A and B are shown apart, each in its own frame.
Chain A
Amino acid sequence: MESEKDQLLRLQTYVAKRLTDSTDSSIPEDANPVLPGNSTLPVNSPSDEDLARSRETLIRKRISQTRHHMPLTAETLGSRFGPLFRQYAERNHVNGKNAIVRDSLLFAEWLNRREVADTAAQDECVQMAIQLATWETMGFACKSRSLCIRFVRLGWDFGSWSDRTKLPKKRRTWWCVLRVLGFRRMVRLY
């Protein structure tokens, strides 16, 4: 028998997953650590229509926040910024601290991916925006610790942010030494 708290937890987890996952609306088996294997709809779940509307609000909020972080890209893309971001957001959700920063970085990477670039290849405006996005998010990252962490994790090969490899020990050591010595500008240059 499911306790009251477990029911609430399962309902909240279901809602959270529906709002952040786009394609899969069913509950994965590991969605709730309390009740593994329970795949029935939770009691008192909201309607699909409400969830879709709420998800739309969430994406719109992300579009608005990302616009602030990538003003040049947003301006260049104009009215196409929203639909393109929406395509990206349908498959990507960023969790946790500095989510907006990572959303912008991921979006720039997504724009840069070959398949997206190919579909937009005939549009000069989109092409320019793709280049701008990369430049803009790198510039943005330079101001924060993100780029340092990114360098430590990935080195000069700017692969996908989500391709988290094991930390290269040598590079991490250098990064720590520079920080300890107070060479903040050098760390930032990385």
Chain B
Amino acid sequence: MKAKHPLALVFFPAFDWAISPTHPEREERLLYTQDQIFEEGLFDIEGIVEYKPELATIEDIQRVHFCVPDERAVTTESHLISAGGAITVAEAVLNRKVNRGFALVRPPGHHSMRVVHGARGFCNINIEAIMIEYIRDKFGVDRIAIVDTDCHHGDGTQDIYWHDPDTLYISIHQDGRTLYPGSGFHYEMGGPNALGTTINIPLPPKTSEEGFLYALEEVVLPALDDFKPELIINSAGQDNHYTDPITNMNFSAQGYAKLTSRLGADIAVLEGGYSIEGALPYVNLGIILAMAGLNYDRVVEPDYDYEKIKQPRSNTEYIKELCEEINEFRKNIDEMVPKVRAKGETKTRNRQIYYDTDNITENQIEEVVLCNDCAGALKIDSQALGRKRICAIMIPRKACSICRDMGYRWFEEADRRRFDYVYLQDRPAKKYIAR
């Protein structure tokens, strides 16, 4: 047996780390997955190479986040290893040691937004975004697509790439009206400078293989074709599974394997998935085999029954209409862009963000320069209730000179008496300043 697509795997179950003893993110989470992949002898297969994760550095985090008060305060070693594991896999792929990579790491990251006051949705730092910005800085890759197949909307990743026209973020998830974090509606399509590079496909509860693969064929794959990314990243959450204890979907190991196979991502990063016995061992095995281009036909859960988990007919109809509507939006993006950018110099949005894991409420005023030449300079005024108030300014990676100057002007003007901290992230200069 030989992998058709040589695959780098980082397997880091963090057997000595938990959010709390009975939390879904606990030591036991990947124990049975380890048992399954060891027993299957996956690491003996020619072309599947296990790598030891490196630790992500503070600099790696500073390419993405504004951590309050600083990176050390909101991370532990486990987060650095998790993000570092994703980077290790990316290095192997970009250095052409392998064709593809899968970082089977925990804790996850896709609920972490640009500003980090603490943990939300079990996430502290966004491990995919940290990996992606590392890839961009070290390997000069520009256009990257992320397909998030976790059951929860990846609101953190969406937030980080909301204004970035070079990153296509697509999320397939359980409808936000029925599940945490309550966002990811199909009309959320990206900021004024990046309209259409965010695509949300919220699926109704009980959606099964049929619905997921339909959305993949109808929306995800055509959108990828249009965007023409240099790299495709899969945020491979596994909680759409029919046995997951905290979600309501009917997806299966076979479904995940088929989706993985058709998507053909270059790099996958594990996100959520909390059915640690009934789903994870089989879903992870299916994903690994599919990524390596090996046969996964016999990867089936012990209690799998196609008829029993088949989605209701109403889901099929709903999803069809939803996909049509999304594609209709996508067609009209080019006409919408000049309209949204014509409304003044900058655009402001006010938000309240709740950190469920750490019970923090944050109020945010985000202002972006409306720009036809780059992703636009960004200023965030963020107040965590009862905690710190900060001002964070980002000059985007490919900033035009106007946005660059604007960023520095904002930074100089930020009133030090109003803010506990003022941060500047100057991506073109690879600089990060906190004061």
Determine if chain A interacts with chain B.
Answer: no
Using a CB–CB cutoff of 8 Å, the interface residues on chain A facing chain B are: none
Using a CB–CB cutoff of 8 Å, the interface residues on chain B facing chain A are: none
